[in-house]
Amino acid sequence: MADEIAVSVEDDGLDLIETPCLLLDADRLKANVATLRARLDGLGVALRPHLKTTKSRDVARIAMASEAGPATVSTLREAEYFAEGGVRDMIYAVGIAPQKLERVGWIRRHWQTDLAIILDSRDQAEAVAAWSRRTGDRLPVLIEVDADGHRSGVKPQDSETLVAIGRVLAGEASLRGVLLHAGDSYGLSEPDALRAAAEAERVAAVMAAASLRDAGLPCPVVSVGSTPTARYAETLEGITEVRAGVFMIGDLFQAGVGSCTVSDIALTVLATVIGHQREKGWIITDAGWMALSRDRGTARQAVDQGYGLACDRTGQPYPDLIVADANQEHGIVALRKGSTAVLPDLPVGARLRILPNHACATGAQHDRYHAMAGGRLTGAIWPRINGW
């Protein structure tokens, strides 16, 4: 017998748009931003939201303190896009390659934007100093400090290197301060461990800043940031700003860390049922890894969410129903192994929503958000960009 086809049109408007596509719950987005901003206000530091997750001017205007910023970006494409939209205070928070200095300078000149860069070596500092001397543009620079051995940066206790870099920059460019990212916090899940990671990040930042100041060098900005440590920091004494990005919309990985709950996640992929393999317990949708991404970060956590957690059209998760596998344009939705839950009856044509493992990776598969509020589509489409 052929599968029954779902033809009913609900009042939420979801039957009227093509799938797969991104849905963004503006109510949850605004609540997430308000929650973190209030927390950081209570700790006496500014929020410099990282725009790399959402890459959208419409979202940026909600997240930033003003239309001019401040903001953080991770690509120069983002810097151009947001500068064109009126953002004037940005940090490009990826170590600078000398070949990119001309583009940085052009963005600064063309939009009169205070775009700062980061670096962690004397070689980079000398290239920046030479460029600043040649162009007359004293580039603002933050020295990247390694908070936890996760990625790039000067060790916080390596005062000799910090001061050497700082002196090169102070001579020709503009030394603005230090910047840290507690990347190892993403591998944690216990509140006490996350609080400890936040404090370790703070201590490392303050130590690095003190080395520069003790050498007579300026360090007006002490910038830290990750969503987990922003959520769990108990004190931010000595810090001037916090950078965080995925907090705005959340994802399943962050829920596994403990920095949000599943009910905080504002982003879903709308999918349509296109078939079944009933003997295997499979529901087939039109949202494969091209729509969801290949990110499987939750596989390393206590709860493996497959390629995403399946929800009904209101965004309520079905018990133990995940995207268990994915091909390029096919999602295989099935019950989690060992589950005693009942597979929902979803006929061909039915709509369901998938919560993403990693909001940054899933978002990168799409060029727009369909905004929702009050449980239904608003009709607003919020463009987003990709590229470098």
- In a shared domain, residues 88 and 226: yes
- In a shared domain, residues 265 and 303: yes
Residue 20, pLDDT > 50, answer yes
- In a shared domain, residues 302 and 376: yes
Q: Is residue 63 part of a domain?
A: yes
Residue 7, pLDDT > 60, answer no
> Using alpha carbons only, what angle is made at residue 300 by residues 297 and 302, rounded to the nearest 5 degrees?
115
pLDDT band of residue 291 (cuts 50, 70, 90) is: very high
Q: What is the pLDDT of residues 253-287, one digit of tens each?
A: 999 999 999 999 999 999 999 999 999 999 999 99
Q: Which domain holds residue 296?
A: 14-23+261-383
Q: Is residue 3 part of a domain?
A: no
Number of domains comprising the chain: 2
Q: 237, exposed or middle or buried, with CB in 10 Å at 0-12, 13-18, 19+?
A: exposed
- In a shared domain, residues 97 and 225: yes
3-state secondary structure 327-340: CCCCEEEEECCCCC
- The pTM of this model reads 0.95
Pairwise CA distance, residues 198 & 226, whole Å:
9
Q: Is residue 9 part of a domain?
A: no
Residue 4 pLDDT = 59
Residue 238, pLDDT > 70, answer yes
Out of 186, 213, 248, pick the residue that ends a domain. 248
pLDDT band of residue 161 (cuts 50, 70, 90) is: very high
Q: Is residue 4 part of a domain?
A: no
3-state secondary structure of 333: strand
Residue 8 pLDDT = 54
Domain with residue 143: its CATH number is 3.20.20.10
Q: Is residue 97 part of a domain?
A: yes
- In a shared domain, residues 300 and 337: yes
Q: Is residue 124 part of a domain?
A: yes
DSSP classification of residue 183: G
- In a shared domain, residues 186 and 271: no
Domain with residue 299: its CATH number is 2.40.37.20
Residue 334, pLDDT > 70, answer yes
Of all residues in the chain, the percent with pLDDT exceeding 90 is 95
pLDDT band of residue 150 (cuts 50, 70, 90) is: confident
* Cα end-to-end distance, the chain, whole Å: 50
What does the block give as tokens for 24? 């963004």
Which is it for strands 309-311 and 71-73: parallel, antiparallel or unpaired? Answer: unpaired
